[in-house]
Structure formats: C-alpha cells, structure tokens
C-alpha cells in the first residue's frame, strides 16, 4: 500500500489522501478524510472523477479531488438580507482615503467612474442565503481544471523556462483568459460535488464585500486599508501614526490568497488582489431598474461585470468584454447558490 499526502492551501483545513494503487494506476479505492465534508460526499466525488476521467494520470485525479473537496471546505455561508446597493458616497473632505468612515452626511461619489458605470443609483436589494468562496481561485485549482479539459496552462512558457514555477505560484490567484473560463470552472466544481456552484451575482459579491451590506469602503478586517511601512493621520493627536506589522491588512500587489486578514464574514481579498468576474452582464443603467429580490443582471450584453481589485472601494463596478485575453489582474471566486450551508 502506498500513501500519498497532498496539502491544499496551508491557510485552510488539511486534506489527507490515502491511496491504494494497483499496477494499472487505477484509484480503487480512493479514500480521503476531511473534518467538514461528509465521507459520503467524498466517495461520490471520487466516483465521478473515476467515471469522467478513467484514463487520467492518478496524480491529476488526486489534485482534482483535492480541489473539489477544498472548494466545499472553503465555502462561507452568508445569511441573506436587504441592503442599499450602489455608491454609498464618501465624505467630501477626506484626510485619508484609506481610512474613511461613512456618515449620513456623506455626499461625494466614492469613485470617479461611479456615474459612468451606473453605481450612483442606489437601490434596495434583498438576497436569499448563499455561500461564497473564502479565497479567490488559485493556480492549483485552475491548473487542475485546465489539465482535465486539455486547455493550455496559463504561463506555460514561463513554467518551461523557470523550474519550480508551478509549485511557487500554486497558491497565487489565477488569472483568467475569458469570463467563460471562470464560469465553466465553477460549473465543473458543481458537476463534481453535486452542489450548485456558479459565479456569484454582482449583488452577492457586493453584499459579502460590505459585510452583509454595511456602509464600509474596503472589505478588510476593519474597513480600512493598512499597508506595510505606511502611516495614517490621527486628528486627535495632530500627527501621523505608523502602521505596525501586526496591523497590516492589505498588500501592495498580488499576493498568495489569504495573505491578509479576512473581512468579518471570514472572506479574504475582496479588496485587493485580483479583479473578479461575476455572473452578471453589464449595463450602465441596470441599477435604475434592477428588481429588488435576488437580481441577476441584464438578460443579454457584450460585457460582464468585474468587481474588486487594487485600490478600489467595494461599491466600484467595472466591466470587461467576454472575449478578453489574459490579463494579470482578473480572476474570480465561486459561489454556491443554495440557502443551506455546504458544510457545517
């Protein structure tokens, strides 16, 4: 009997794989332990992988199983509710844009593109319960999907030139070539796990980033951006105060997922790191006639909404053509569209 241990993100629960290998390389039986995913679910995923990829290399099967189980473990259940979606406005006299506090008197647009992209039209939204991935999709997960479907890996030439690159970037957020690739990845996880994986809607993304719709500007642990080797002004003291190393909650570039503290819901990198595809088509006037209950975006379009990214407040909305080429700034995370938690 040979034992294989694959560690998924060190930030989350460790998944341990125990494999009985025979001469043909078949994975029979394939057992996996998880502290939160039921054994029956794991067995069902294993069976689907065997059925769909009978001739696949066993190490890739293990990676796919790891990705599927981890995707369930990392789903954060979010209780639904109502909120006013859109640009919540900022104070007009801002001392430090990284440390803004909302007040009812806030009256200036929080982003210069809010008018152009329609975010200025605040509107009531009511959402059902759902779950959202704790982390952005990593290269480790995206590689498994691409290899399973015969799609060239991102940065394929670099991986040939630089030995060990695949291992070094496995926990980095994966960039995507097109919106459809992000969509298909989430649906693939749904097919393997039996849960309703999909991209989040734009409303679901913003509700989570704003800690269930609160009036905050950044999806960090405290609503502020605190970078290393930076400081902020304290009016009561009349001077700047250095940000301590243990207070840093925001990077200056693209970091491994989960490098900084999660927001109060337990979700990382909704501010900072990658821009993220969501499910909705983009229309600049959609907020003016959006339905209140579980809005899904326009029925058709040529561009898809992207949310989040470097330096932007959480109400900022942007858009990209669905046939965009690879960009170093655009990734995604999956959601599960059901009211009950994926794992307890």
Do 135 and 258 form a contact (C-beta atoms < 8 A)?
Answer: yes
Please give the Cα distance from 47 to 50 (Å, whole number). 5
pTM over 0.85: yes
Query: With b meaning 16 or more CB within 10 Å and e meaning fewer, what string describes 188-212?
Result: bbbebbebebbbbbbbbbbbbbbbb
pLDDT of residue 154: 92
Whether the per-residue pLDDT at 26 is higher than 80: the answer is no
The predicted model gives 282-311 an average pLDDT of 96
Q: What is the pLDDT of residue 96?
A: 92
Considering only CA atoms, which of 253, 259, 248 is closest in space to residue 225? Answer: 248
Per-residue pLDDT averaged across 314-342, rounded? 91
pLDDT value for 324: 72
Class of domain 77-133+197-336: alpha beta
Would the pLDDT of 181 be above 70?
Answer: yes
Residue 213 has pLDDT above 60, yes or no: yes
With 80 as the cut, is the pLDDT of residue 328 above it? no
Least confident of 123-132, 235-244, 319-328: 319-328
Handedness of CA 291, 293, 295, 296 (dihedral sign): negative
Q: What's the pLDDT at 241?
A: 94
H-helix segments, 194-307: 202-209
Distance separating alpha carbons of residues 175 and 82, to the nearest angstrom: 32
Per-residue confidence (pLDDT) for residue 90, from 0 to 100:
97
What's the CA gap between 24 and 65, in Å, rounded? 19
Give every CB contact of residue 186 below 8 A, 6+ residues apart in sequence. Answer: 197, 198, 199, 332, 334, 335
Q: What is the pLDDT of residues 231-278, one digit of tens each?
A: 999 888 889 999 999 999 999 889 999 999 999 999 999 999 999 999
Specify the pLDDT at position 31: 60
pLDDT at residue 124, as a whole number: 99
Mean pLDDT of all residues in the chain?
90
- pLDDT above 70 covers what percent of the chain? 90
pLDDT digits (tens, 9 = 90+) for 134-180: 999 999 999 999 999 999 999 999 999 999 999 999 999 999 989 99
Q: Say what the pLDDT of residue 12 is.
A: 37
pLDDT tier at 3, thresholds 50, 70, 90: very low
CB 282 within 8 A of CB 299: no
197-198 and 335-336: which strand pairing?
A: antiparallel
Which contacts of 147-151 are long-range, i.e. CB under 8 A and separated by 24 or more positions?
A: 147/60, 148/53, 148/56, 148/60, 148/64, 148/188, 151/181
Structural domain boundaries in the chain: 1-73, 77-133+197-336
């Amino acid at each position: 009997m040979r034992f294989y241990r694959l560690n998924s993100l060190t930030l989350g629960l460790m998944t341990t794989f125990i494999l009985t290998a025979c001469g043909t390389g078949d994975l029979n039986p394939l057992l996996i332990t998880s502290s939160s995913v039921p054994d029956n679910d794991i067995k069902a995923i294993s069976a689907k992988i065997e059925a769909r990829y009978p001739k696949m290399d066993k190490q890739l099967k293990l990676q796919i199983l790891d990705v599927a189980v981890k995707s369930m473990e990392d789903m954060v259940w979010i209780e639904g509710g109502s909120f006013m979606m859109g640009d919540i406005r900022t104070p007009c006299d801002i001392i430090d844009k990284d440390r803004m506090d909302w007040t009812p008197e806030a009256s200036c647009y929080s982003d210069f593109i809010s008018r152009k992209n329609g975010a200025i039209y605040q509107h009531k939204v009511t959402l059902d319960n759902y779950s959202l991935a704790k982390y952005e999709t990593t290269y480790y997960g995206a590689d498994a999907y691409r290899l399973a479907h015969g799609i060239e890996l991102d940065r394929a030439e670099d991986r040939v030139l630089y030995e060990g690159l695949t291992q070094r970037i496995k926990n980095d957020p994966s960039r995507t070539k097109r919106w459809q690739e992000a969509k298909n990845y989430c649906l693939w996880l749904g097919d393997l796990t039996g849960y309703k994986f999909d991209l989040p809607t734009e409303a679901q993304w913003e509700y989570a980033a704003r800690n269930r719709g609160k009036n905050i500007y950044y999806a960090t642990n405290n609503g502020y951006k605190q970078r290393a080797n930076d400081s902020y002004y304290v009016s009561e003291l009349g001077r700047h105060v250095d940000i301590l190393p243990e207070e840093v909650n925001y990077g200056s570039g693209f970091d491994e997922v989960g490098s900084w503290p999660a927001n109060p819901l337990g979700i990382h990198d909704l501010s900072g790191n990658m821009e993220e595809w969501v499910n909705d088509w983009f229309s600049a006037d959609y907020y003016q006639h959006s339905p209140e209950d579980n809005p899904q975006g326009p029925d058709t379009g040529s561009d898809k909404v992207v949310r989040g990214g470097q330096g932007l407040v959480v109400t900022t909305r942007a858009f990209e053509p669905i046939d965009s080429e690879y960009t170093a700034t655009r990734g995604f995370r999956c959601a599960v569209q059901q009211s009950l938690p994926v794992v307890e």
